[in-house]
Amino acid sequence: MVGLTSNLVEGVERVLYPDLDNDGFYLNTIGPVSGFCIPSSYAAEMGDCDDNNAAINPSANEICGNTIDDNCNTIVDEGCFGNLMFNLKAIIEGYELPGGLMQPVLFNTGITSNSSLADTIIVELRDQFSPGTIISSDQTILSTNGFATVNYPLNIIGGTYWIVLRQRNSIETWSGFPVTLSGSSVFYDFTAP
């Protein structure tokens, strides 16, 4: 076999599975092989959650603000910035594709190699009684599935704010009502009727 690795105990046979992104972890259990050496496109460790991206695997560090579960533990952006994760869903008109997805604009323009990222957005929290007052303004990345996350510090928890989305090619969009940010995670869906 070509491209064998030497990280196996000599003389110990293992069952191996396809590792499409060669990060050392497999996602699918289709097509196992047995052997004493690991071919370069196979892995013995299970747990990959995206076998098309070597940067996403169980040994990866979580990257804050990219709305991706980088370390495959089913939690997005854990341990980042503050104690409140504000999750939202929005679809940018003009980027929309069938099936509730959007064009991967950042990928298409060569800004990133990650084809699951649509574009950057700015999320503003505005005072519920004085909407002209911006409490917080944070930039984050909107995924092609419409999801984004902003992490806020403790002093934001418990407050009620207008949520405003701004994007370089779109009309500013406001939440339909002021939203109370309580608990450790809050979700607001701009696509809901």
**pLDDT, tens only, 108-148:** 988 888 899 999 999 999 999 999 999 999 999 999 999 99
Q: Do the beta carbons of residue 17 and residue 26 sit within 8 Å?
A: yes
Q: Is the pTM of this model over 0.75?
A: no
Q: What is the pLDDT of residues 28-49, one digit of tens each?
A: 655 656 655 656 677 767 777 8
Q: CB–CB of 43/26 below 8 Å?
A: yes
Give dist(CA 167, CA 6) in Å, integer.
Answer: 49
pLDDT at 189 over 50: yes
Boundaries of CATH 2.60.40 in the chain? 84-189
For residue 100, the model assigns a pLDDT of 86
Provide the residue type at 168 as one letter.
Answer: R
Quote the tokens at residue 25.
């972890």
Helix, strand, coil percentages for the chain (3-state, nearest 5): 5, 35, 60
Which CATH number is 84-189's, of 3.40.50, 1.10.357, 2.60.40, 2.40.50? 2.60.40
For the chain, the distance separating the N- and C-terminal CA atoms, rounded to the nearest angstrom, is: 56
How high is the pLDDT of residue 7? 46
List the one residue out of 7, 152, 10 whose CA is nearest residue 81: 152
Q: Are 84 and 181 in contact (CB under 8 A)?
A: yes
pLDDT for 143: 93
Q: Which residues contact 79 (CB under 8 A, 6 or more apart)?
A: 62
Looking at 7-16, 145-154, 171-180, which range is the least confident one?
Answer: 7-16
d(CA 142, CA 148): 5
Nearest to 1 by CA among 46, 24, 35: 35
Task: Find the radius of gyration of the CA atoms of the chain.
Answer: 21
- Taking 60 as the threshold, does the pLDDT of residue 3 lie above it? no
12 contact partners, CB below 8 Å, separation of at least 6? 36
Supply the pLDDT for residue 5: 41
